[in-house]
Structures are given as C-alpha cells and as structure tokens.
Amino acid sequence: MADAHAVARPDVAPPGKDAKRVVILGAGIAGLTAAYELSRKGYDCVLLEASHGAGGRNLTLRHGDKVDEIGNPQTCQFDADPDLYLNAGPARIPGHHTTLLDYCKELGVELAPFINENRNAWVQDDAAFAGRPVRNREYVTDARGFLAELAMKSVGAAHLDAAVTQEDGERLTAFLRGFGDLSSANKYVGSSRAGLVNVDYTMPEQIKSVRAFPEILKSRLWQTVMQFGEGADQAAMMMEPVGGMDKVVQGFMAKVGSLVRTHARVESVMLRQKKVEVIYNSPAGREKITADFCLNSIPFQLMAGIPNNFPAEYATVLTAIPRGSLFKIGFQMKERFWEKEQIFGGISWTTQDVTQLWYPCHGIHRQKGVVLGAYIYGGAASERFERLTPAARLEAAIEQGEKVHPGCYRKNVETGVSVPWHRMNYMLGCASEWSPEARQQHFARIQAPVGNHYMIGDQVSYHPGWQQGAMHSALHAVADIDKRVRAEKVAKGVSA
C-alpha cells in the first residue's frame, strides 16, 4: 500500500540547448532541495542567501557559532566537542517523513533513533503535587487507571446501548481492565507501569502508592503529556542525523554549495516578460540577476517589505499570514546528572514558561551534555523571554529548570545560548500560522506561480515548521517548472 505521505520527486527533463536560468532566493531546505533537483538536470541555478550560511531555520549551534539575533548577537560558547551542540531549529524526523528520509539516504546523512517520549522523564506543575516533579510514567499510569475505573462503572448492562451484545460488553470490560491495569474487582489500586518503589530484583516487587485523581486533575499538563507521543509527527520511531540536524544541510551543500552566494540581500523582485529580475546587495556591491524562473523562500513577512510588482491579490497573501515565535535555549552541563535519574533522552514537561526540557540521545555516559533548557511554542511566554537580555534569559531558564531537577540543575550549568526566532535576522519569525479560513482564501493563490515566480518553503505547505513541508513545496514548484519547459519544447517542435 502506498504511503499517503510520500510525494514523488519529479523526473525533471534536461532543459536542452536552451538552458534555463533559475534564481533561488534563500538557501534553506526548500531552496537547497530545488537547486539539487534542477541543477543536476542541467538548469543553471544560483542561490542567494542573505545570512552568513545556508540552512535557514535548520540551525545547529556548536562552539564558536554565531546567533544572529537583532540587537543581541551571541556566540555559542559550548566546548569544541562534536557531541556538544544544540539543534536550534528542527531536531527530529518522524518516520513518515519519507521525502526527507530518502534525501538523507541519497546524500549520505547517517541517522540514529531519536528518543522523543520517555516515561522516566519528569512532569512538573506548580498547581499540583506541591510543585514537586513526578515521573511521567506515574502521572500517565495513575490517570489512565482512574479513567478506566470510572469508565468501568458505566458499562453495566443498564448503561450499554441496546445494539451492544453481551459478548461485546464482556470484551469492553476486558479492554478497560487491560487499559487501566485494574484489579479483579475493577478498581485501580496501582500498577507496576508507574514504576516500582525499588529495583532490587532480589526482593518482591513493591508498587508505588497511587496519586489521588483530583491531584492529577489539578495539573493541566494532561492536555499534552497524555497523548503527546501518539501524535502523527511525534510518535516513535523518530530519527535524528548523527552529529546534528545541519548534517542534512551539509549533505545538500556537498552537491550544490558552489551555487550558493551568502551575504546576498535581496532588494527587489520584479516580474518581466517571461523573466524575473532580482536586484541584490552583496559584498561585491549591488548586483542584478535576470532569470527564466525564480523560486522564492524569503519569509512572507519579509518579502512583503521588499519592492516588487506582484499583482495585488498575490501580494496581499504576504501580509495575511502571521508567523510563529518559537524560542529555544540550550545549556551545556558539566555533568549528565539526568542519567543518574534514569533519564536517557526524551522530554520533561513543566507548566512554567520554558515548557520543555530535552535530554540528548547521543553521548550517553560521557561527562558533559547539552540540554534543551527551554522550548517555548510562542505566545506570551515567548514574548516574556524575548524582552530579556540573553544573560537574563539564561538565568530565568535556570531558575525554572531547577524546579524540574531540584538541587542538580543550576550547579551543573556551564554556559548557555538562546535563540528567539522572532528576533533572528533575516527570519523575524518561525513557521507560518495558517488558519483554516486563511487556507481557504489564500493558499491556492500563493502556491501557484505569478508569471515565472514561485513562493516556496514550509510556509507554502500544509506542514509548516517541518522540513518535509519545505521539501514538498520545492518539489511542487520544480514539477510545475518542468511541465512548463516540456510544453515549451513541444511547442517549438523539440522532443520533450
């Protein structure tokens, strides 16, 4: 059965003697994908990248790397060690992102399992359990046990729909008993799924005491923790490139790096008769490129401020879609203290602003490691952190991390770095935040070309924020260019 998420890569025909020039604006994942597909079939491609390096939001920070935040430039001070890095943008690859996985295979990007959900990690909420962290497995197991017990009380014959047979009722009872690990009396009295009081296997098992259901309900983390690992993009098995997510960028750059011009800031994009004209500023001065096609991954909100002659209904889309403001902080820890807590990879959750703490899956049992000390999805929490200086951000995140790991967190922090995507130069935001209404009104228009100009990037996909979405947008545009060039050759009497 075909994978519903797979998108066929277009079999691009060589343009022939009438070579086509393509200017690609932005050397992020979408731009690199398009350049790779077109250049290897004979298209004359050039990529203009405004920043100091390729990759876009695929950003892995290591020793000495620059964080190009407007007003707060930072330099990553992690030790010069290949295991000490922060994936400041994408950090995991779902198993159904087959397009990205295929490129990794083709480009020689080595992959390793990524631990997304870890039942040994912590759940911390000031509103519950006196603010003390509890194990994810205890929180989830007790919650499901009580839910199963409550559901069991409603499956008596008098409560079942008349269409449900006695046999089905018995099956439902068995299902609930297994789901919640209920006793023979259909009560939840605890479960080994929540962990044991001790792990001395020369002694009988001793199940942990049950946490009160009202106490569990006090925490709003059940909205995320209970089903997080079951989401389509979060479920095992997930992967990560060995050595950092930017290994994907490096794989592409090994093929098309010679086509990339960095520090090339676009100043205008003009539609011409069967051409596109791009003016850009580079270290060499102001330059112009006239190309047969333009693939443009400049973020909508930035492109809206660049002079252009797009039709009004097309240009309107650029200002209609808001951008996310995700925020990450990474800490180099002098000791991998979380491993002493039986945590090897995965995520701890907190209702504090930092939201998530991630533990590295690589480098197990080494001395040091880099913890993702904050992954803030946006909103007021991101705004609060963005307003702080880099030093103040780190202090706030340390204070909050200490609640998840009391007595261990602060004393182990050696250095840190913060990445507020809403303030990053040449980005000023993260993934596009399409509403259903905006999709219906604007998506088809911005996905289609205007003249020989195409907008691409994860912003022009139904999967914003993910590299798979960026790649699919590029392949969609590449396929359309190929179709048009083939038709042009047929019209000229040239074999397609």
- pLDDT of 249-265, one tens digit each? 999 999 999 999 999 99
Domains 21-56+247-322+432-491 and 60-120+235-245+324-423 share a fold: no
Q: Is the pLDDT of residue 162 over 70?
A: no
Q: What value, to the nearest 5°, has the Cα angle with vertex 319 and ends 314 and 322?
A: 130
What pLDDT sits at residue 5? 46
The pLDDT score that the predictor gives to residue 164 is: 66
341 beta partners? none
* Cα 134 from chain centroid (whole Å): 26
pLDDT tens profile 126-146: 999 999 999 999 999 999 999
Which of 323, 324, 315 is closest to 296 using CA atoms? 315
User: Using one digit for the tens of pLDDT, what is the confidence trace for 381-392?
Assistant: 999 999 999 999
Exposure class string for 27-52: b at 16+ Cβ within 10 A, else e: bbbbbbbbbbbbbebebebbbbbbbe
The whole-chain average pLDDT of the chain stands at 94
Q: Both ends of the chain: CA-CA distance in Å?
A: 32
Residue 1 has pLDDT above 70, yes or no: no
In the predicted model, what is the mean pLDDT of residues 459-486? 97
pLDDT digits (tens, 9 = 90+) for 182-234: 999 999 999 999 998 888 888 888 999 999 999 999 998 988 998 999 999 99
Report yes or no: 261 and 282 within 8 Å, Cβ to Cβ.
yes
Q: Which two tokens stand for residue 336?
A: 């991998």
User: Does 172 or 423 have the greater pLDDT score?
Assistant: 423
- Residue 158 pLDDT class (50, 70, 90 cuts): low
Q: What does CATH list as the number for 21-56+247-322+432-491?
A: 3.50.50.60
Two structure tokens written together for 338: 């979380």
Could you tell me the two tokens for 363? 């480098």
The number of C-alpha atoms within 13 Å of 32 and in the hemisphere containing its C-beta is 28
Sheet holding 93-94, edge to edge: 93-94, 238-241, 111-114
- Strand bridging mode 369-376 / 413-420: unpaired
Query: Which tens digits make up the pLDDT trace of 323-353?
Result: 999 999 999 999 999 999 999 999 999 999 9
Which fold is adopted by the domain 136-218?
Answer: de novo design (two linked rop proteins) (1.20.1440)
Average pLDDT over residues 158-167: 65
Residue 327: closest CA among 394, 382, 396, 391: 382
pLDDT tens digits, 394-418: 999 999 999 999 999 999 999 999 9
* Residue 8 vs residue 109, higher pLDDT: 109
* Rounded Cα–Cα distance for residues 457 and 323 (Å): 13
Match 């250049």 to its residue by tokens. 39
pLDDT at 495: 65
| Amino acid at the residue 408 | C
Domain 60-120+235-245+324-423: which CATH number of 1.10.443.10, 3.40.50.980, 3.90.660.10, 3.30.460.10: 3.90.660.10
More confident residue, 428 or 492: 428
pLDDT of residue 474: 98
Instruction: Identify the pLDDT of residue 2.
Output: 39
Element (H, E) at 419: strand 413-420
Q: How far apart are CA 207 and CA 445, in angstroms?
A: 59
The residue-averaged pLDDT of 35-49 equals: 98
In the chain, what are the domain boundaries? 21-56+247-322+432-491, 60-120+235-245+324-423, 136-218
